[in-house]
Copies of this chain bind each other. A is one copy, B any other.
Amino acid sequence: MTAARLPATVPRHILDATAALLSHRGYEATTVRAIAARVSIKAASIYHHYASKDALVAAVMNEGVRIVHDAVMAALAALGPVACPRLRLETAIRAHLRSSLENSDYTAASIRAFAFLPDAVRAECRADRRRYEQIWRGIVEEASRAGLIRPGVSLDAVRLMLLGAVNWAGEWYRPGRLDIDTIARDFASLVFHG
């Protein structure tokens, strides 16, 4: 899961270009020729660094999940071990939103382009994505144990609502309108009762 998993020989800017195209145009419109053009080389040269388009895409998708995973974990760790669940949830939301909306084409790609990936590529991404989901399962569970979630509400529903809301944010967020801190605060407010 560390950066070392990527072959050192793979130029970062090829991955960057792929991430940018995937996040803005989706899988099919992200052509090898378009990626190559973005880094001012020819399409065939891509294959010197990567075995196939799908291997490149899979690398970007997994990198995207890794980035948001690490961002959320780092933000939670910075809170210290005794932070209240309310604050932990708001912090996780903010970190996820920052990663996918501001910092990382990789994260944006891993969220937006995933749905229509070829099955083979999707299969390569499943494990890391599940691992990321576990963070949220944990946060919601903590909050529930602390009595912050209205009793009777399914914790799965809470988690899926939250992840849905933050993952969909890429479809409407534009810098300069609702700012990310406000979104994170309000989203967190909504899932806690009285």
Contacts and interface: CB of A to CB of B under 8 A. Distances in A.
12 contacts: A112-B116, A150-B190, A153-B186, A153-B190, A156-B178, A160-B168, A160-B178, A160-B183, A161-B165, A161-B187, A168-B168, A190-B191
A167 interface: yes
A178 B157 contact: yes
User: How many of these chains are in the complex?
Assistant: 2
Contacts of A191: 190
B171 A158 contact: no
A193 interface: yes
Interface residues of A, number: 37
Interface stretch (A21-29, A39-47, A49-57, A66-74): A21-29
6 A-B pairs closest in CB distance: A194-B194, A28-B28, A164-B168, A26-B116, A157-B186, A164-B165
Contacts of A154: 178, 182, 186
B189 A160 contact: no
Given A165-B160, A182-B154, A115 B190 contact: no
A26 B115 CA distance: 8
A125 to B, nearest CB: 13
A94 to B, nearest CB: 13
Interface string A172-183: 100000100011
